[in-house]
Structure 1
């Protein structure tokens, strides 16, 4: 059996490079996709519901089982005086899109989807990379 393995080229497991900026960009894109789903539900007069999987211990068998639990997702858009605004958030804080400007004036609710698509394209193009790079982890000094 050793002679068969000796014919193969054996290597250590290659590690995926973990680029913090790419991870943050992907996380933001994932959250923006969730916001797009919230907007779709708003425009179609549907109720949005999100779930996450939690591992729990089954009392009878003692095995770990995965259970879907509802989770609360806050919309990043809000309405003030018949006009909608959109904040792009990372975690609990809105990103500063320009100097002292954290929100995007959307106007009518029908434009929310269109504006969010532009934001998604901007994130994919790397236009928010400086803001994402400036984010510090909670508790980090």
Structure 2
């Protein structure tokens, strides 16, 4: 018996071939993870690598902090309103409602964890479909 014949051979199907919705779920889950880290540590700043050109024309790669916007706002009465965003657009979680009210800032991480679980289970797929527009914008003359 040959070595190759002893192995279990299958057709290669990467997860991205299953559809765009899996990529959208993963993207939103990653952004929720960033917000959880930001809620638990206000000094949290992930980094990215950018190419900077100096005055002499030399290019150097430099690590800089990413700019992350908070998804929540603290109200004057102590409550916190949290929006879940896909890109720059807030998701409409229910008809006419796009925010979650929390009692205080300590509750944000727990709520975001529940939202992440809902995203990975596919509960927000319909909202993701309405927010994302597939295709190219028409060129203006």
Q: 1:69 aligns with which of 64, 67, 74?
A: 64
Does 2:22 align with 1:22?
yes
Aligned counterparts of 2:30 and 2:113: Cα–Cα separation in 1: 13
Aligned counterparts of 2:33 and 2:115: Cα–Cα separation in 1: 11
Q: Please name the residue that 2:3 is paired with.
A: none
Structure 1 stretch 49-58 or stretch 88-97: which is displaced more?
49-58
How big is the shift at 1:67? 2.4
Structure 2 unaligned residues grouped into runs of 5+? 1-11
Q: 2:73 aligns with which of 63, 72, 78?
A: 78
How big is the shift at 1:68? 1.2
What TM-score do you get using the length of structure 1 for normalisation? 0.75
Alpha-carbon displacement from aligned partner over 1:6-65 (angstroms, at most 9, x marks no partner): xxxxxxxx57416211111100000000000000114xxxx22221122457999x7x76
What TM-score do you get using the length of structure 2 for normalisation? 0.75
Q: 1:93 aligns with which of 89, 101, 120?
A: 89
DSSP 3-state at the match of 2:97 = coil
Aligned counterparts of 2:96 and 2:24: Cα–Cα separation in 1: 22
Aligned counterparts of 2:60 and 2:134: Cα–Cα separation in 1: 31
DSSP 3-state at the match of 2:92 = coil
Q: How does 1:111-126 map to 2 (within 5 A)?
A: 111-126=107-122
Aligned counterparts of 1:31 and 1:90: Cα–Cα separation in 2: 8
Change (3 A) 1:128 1:109: same
Aligned counterparts of 2:109 and 2:75: Cα–Cα separation in 1: 18
Aligned counterparts of 1:59 and 1:109: Cα–Cα separation in 2: 45
Q: Please name the residue that 1:35 is paired with.
A: 35
